[in-house]
Structure 1
């Protein structure tokens, strides 16, 4: 098994297409390797090497894909959501201890403003006219002399994950973690050089980076990089890309289905080998509808950032794809542990994993590491925070969420982070953010608020306040103004089950 990103693509046939995009020539594997060498030389001349962190803020597309792949072969990448506000960028850039921020040559948005205030160096990415998809050059005012290339134990990718603490946790993923996960996904999907993925996933997220990009490259396949998901042009992109598969979150699949009937000709013209779904639970009815519409198997996978994405996956035919199951073990060992004791059990409990794709631990967070990792049966296990059980065929079924993280269509949101923003509102005395069940997204963000005496603030006021300070997906869609927030026996405000307590959903 290869243990670095560089080794992962070193032997792929040179003339084969690697990266594509609408209206652009394909970038070959030889050209991708050449770009990798140019990027390493540019970064080294800026004084950046394996131990340095480069934050990347770019729109979805071929340059975001190649920037991640090439920078990660020379330094540590930290992709950030282009939808963040300046305050969020300031937090993440500072927390990551990034040495530089990489942005498009004409970008002067909130990430640039945050980096400037922090005194951080900025690297500009330029695309020469007529360049193949994903080709770029780098420039900056930095200078230095660095040369050390990453090895298997260096960090390739660093991401924040929202936790049940107010401060998001930093997840470092080593070169060996990323390489292992790419190979796990490649093998579970039986990807080959004949496969082409049409990527619609955001490339600041582990799902798109690993499943769409890295797994395809590990197989010598190609990736057609769209500007992001858009149901209105999905089938136009599909017609140009001629993919053999795509991977998406359930809400994207549902939007695609809503326009499938009028695009039956495109579906027939470009038969898919399979479709993949991950990052949130896929409703069984949607899985069946997708299979019927595309006449192809739907492979639901189960992943998370700490596992460099994939942990379990429904297998390809002739084995069954079970609606409602997240599949069989697909890379790491997957077991069930007691939810409080550090021991493996049979039956229902907390899903735990162990394998070469699993992060060595959260950065600078010994409490979280003590809580989430344990040794048992000769292996080191990571607690996923999900509850589940295996059926007699070895398929994993998730039965509930142990953590309070809100999972909005695959975007994970820390309720305490939202609490902190809302409590900055001058009229808010108390707040508890919680998950509100949603038929398409799985969960939506809601908040119960107690106002200060004599305040006349409205739900609209509070949502507008939040919208100025947080990315749109974190802003509560429902704010309930109350005289008092229900509390548990110990006096704590309880998030779990709050939507039910407030009469916002029917009791099961």
Structure 2
């Protein structure tokens, strides 16, 4: 089994298509391997060695995908969100201890300003507009650089560094080894039964673990192909579906819901599509949305459960038609998955904190012994990582998440799972999207609130939605406040965020 990214892409035929983009010529596996050698030579000339860290700040698309895959075979990659402000770039570049940064040729934005402050080597990427997708040259204007030794990263070297989202505290650095990436890609390939005949339509941001691992790296591990779009665009999705002719795509629930909103006027394109399955991950997929996707596309909808510290995937619903359980994130799909006591370091039966153990799990947060002491423990001869999620297995060993422990609403001592309330409100015929969140309360500490987006052409007021919930939920779980919005605020990756939502919506105590 492959233990490095180089080993993942080594066995595939020279002429097989690897990476493309809508309207572009495909980059073959042979050309991808050649590009890897070209990138390595450019990095070594720029003084970047096998253990040095390279920040990558590029827009979504084939150049970003190929930059990640090729640089990760020569050094440590650190993809950053191109939308960051200068202060954010400065924080991440300093925190990462980056040696160099890759930007587009001619780029003079905030990432470059931040890089100049720290004296980083700026490497410019010049795309070959006439060549296959993802063909580019790297160069630097820096002078007096001593070339780095041409060593290759091994299984225990860091391939990828990402930060946790940091919604409640300083973001933590998550180093992912070459062996972590290789193990996770193999796990996802197996759970999705990917073959060289498969083709992915890449919609997810490529500074995020979901897009980097589930879409790009897993496709390449399977010898399959991926067409990388400039980023999710509901207005262009069905045109891409027709032009790329993919067998699958992976997205977050909000993307799926936006696609569904435009599906009715694109029935002809959907009828011709050869989608084998649709995949959803990174946040909970409401059961009603899973059913609507299945009815619309006639293909299984596979919900998976992932997080950065697991190099993305931990659980996945089976791919076989009819084996998916709406509301469940599936069966263990790679690492061992168990339930632990939320305060004590031992495994339990029933509801508790979801923990994982396996070769795809990060060795630990960098430079953060306190976080490691809280997040890892030894039990039953294994090292377990605490995910921060609360969950429970059913009799078939499907895992259902009951909420993020830090998102559980504590209403005067009564604990409410936002996911449970989401599921009930999603069944309302007028509701398109819902996020249940904690609202500060003077006496109870927290109260239940919900932000709702209505379906196009549907109407409902706060009272109607609360009455609907009251018929299906215990009184203490019924939202005391329902805010009807045109759009719910999202994070950079398209995920709906509960923590801090009351503040964002101007709902104080």
- Summarize the Cα distance change of 1:25–1:294 in structure 2 as closer, same or farther, 3 Å threshold: same
* SS of structure 2 residue aligned to 1:83: coil
Give the drift of 1:436. 6.6
Matches within 5 A, 1:221-370: 221-318=224-321, 320-370=323-373
Q: Is the partner of 1:214 in helix, strand or coil?
A: helix
C-alpha displacement at 1:106, in angstroms? 2.1
Q: CA deviation at 1:440?
A: 6.4
- Distance verdict in 2 for CA 1:131–1:476, change over 3 Å: farther
Deviation at 1:145, TM superposition (A): 3.0
The whole-number CA distance in structure 2 between the counterparts of 1:156 and 1:327 is: 28
1:373 to 373, 376, 400: 376
Q: Tell me the CA shift for residue 433 of structure 1.
A: 13
Greater CA drift, 90-99 or 108-117: 108-117
Q: CA RMSD in A?
A: 2.8
Please report how far the alpha carbon of residue 434 of structure 1 lies from its aligned counterpart in structure 2 after TM superposition. Answer: 12
Q: Are 1:271 and 1:294, in contact at CA under 8 Å, matched by a contact in 2?
A: no
Match of 2:60 in 1: 60
Partner of 1:121: 121
- Tell me how far 1:346 sits from its aligned partner: 0.6
Map 1:204-219 to 2 at 5 A: 204-219=207-222
For the 8 Å contact 2:300–2:321, the answer to whether it is kept is no
Taking the aligned partners of 1:55 and 1:160, their CA distance within structure 2 comes to 12
User: Counterparts of 2:220 and 2:228 in 1: how far apart (Å)?
Assistant: 13
Change (3 A) 1:439 1:25: same
1:291 match: secondary structure:
helix
Cα distance between partner residues in 2 of 1:104 and 1:163? 28
Aligned-partner Cα distance in 2 for 1:210–1:159: 12
Post-superposition offset of 1:2? 0.9
| Secondary structure of 1:73 counterpart | coil
Structure 1 counterpart of 2:426:
none
Give the equivalent residue in structure 2 for 1:491: none
Q: In structure 1, what is the Cα distance between the partners aligned to 2:308 and 2:314?
A: 10
Distance 1:480 1:31, change over 3 A: closer
Whole-angstrom CA distance in 2 between matches of 1:479 and 1:325:
30
Specify the alignment match of 2:133 in structure 1. 133
Distance 1:121 1:30 in 2: 29
Of 134-143 and 327-336, the range deviating more from structure 2 = 134-143
Aligned counterpart, 1:428 = none
Separation in structure 2 between the aligned mates of residue 107 and residue 61 of structure 1, nearest angstrom: 16
Give the drift of 1:13.
Answer: 1.2
Aligned length: 437
**CA displacement at 1:321 relative to structure 2:** 0.2
How far apart in 2 are the matches of 1:434 and 1:75? 48
Secondary structure of the 1:345 match is coil
- Residues 81, 343 of structure 1: alpha-carbon distance in 2 compared, 3 angstrom cutoff: same
Distance in 2 separating the partners of 1:204 and 1:164: 17
**470-479 or 109-118, larger mean C-alpha shift:** 470-479
Structure 2 segments unaligned to the other structure (5+ residues): 410-417, 423-436, 438-444, 455-488
SS of residue in 2 equivalent to 1:386: strand
SS for the counterpart of 2:362 is coil
Cα deviations by residue, 1:26-58 (Å, 9 ceiling, x for unpaired): 000000000001101111111112110000010
Query: Which of residues 192, 199, 203 is equivalent to 1:196?
Result: 199
Quick one: distance in 2 between partners of 1:369 and 1:275?
A: 35
How far apart are 1:478 and its partner, in Å? 5.7
CA deviation profile, 1:71-91 (whole Å, cap 9, x unmatched): 000000000011111100000
- Structure 1's 164 and 200: CA in aligned 2 closer, same or farther, altered over 3 A? closer
Q: Give the Cα separation in 2 of the matches to 1:440 and 1:333.
A: 37
2-structure distance, mates of 1:375, 1:476: 33
Counterpart residue number, 1:6: 6
Structure-1 separation of matches of 2:326 and 2:15: 40
TM-score by length of 1: 0.82
Asked if 1 retains the 8 angstrom alpha-carbon contact of 2:252 and 2:494, the reply is: no
CA shift at 1:164, angstroms?
6.6
In 2, Cα distance between equivalents of 1:433 and 1:160: 29
1:11 Cα offset (Å): 0.3
Query: Stretches of 4+ moved more than 3 A in 1?
Result: 404-409, 432-441, 470-482
Higher mean alpha-carbon deviation, 113-122 vs 378-387, is at 113-122
What is the alpha-carbon distance in structure 2 between the residues aligned to residue 370 and residue 108 of structure 1?
A: 41
Contact 1:85 1:471 survives alignment (8 Å)? no
In structure 1, what is the Cα distance between the partners aligned to 2:368 and 2:160? Answer: 18
Question: For residue 29 of structure 1, what is the aligned residue in structure 2?
Answer: 29
CA shift digits 1:481-504 (9 cap, x unpaired): 99xxxxxxxxxxxxxxxx7x94xx
Name which of 173, 177, 181 aligns with 2:176. 173
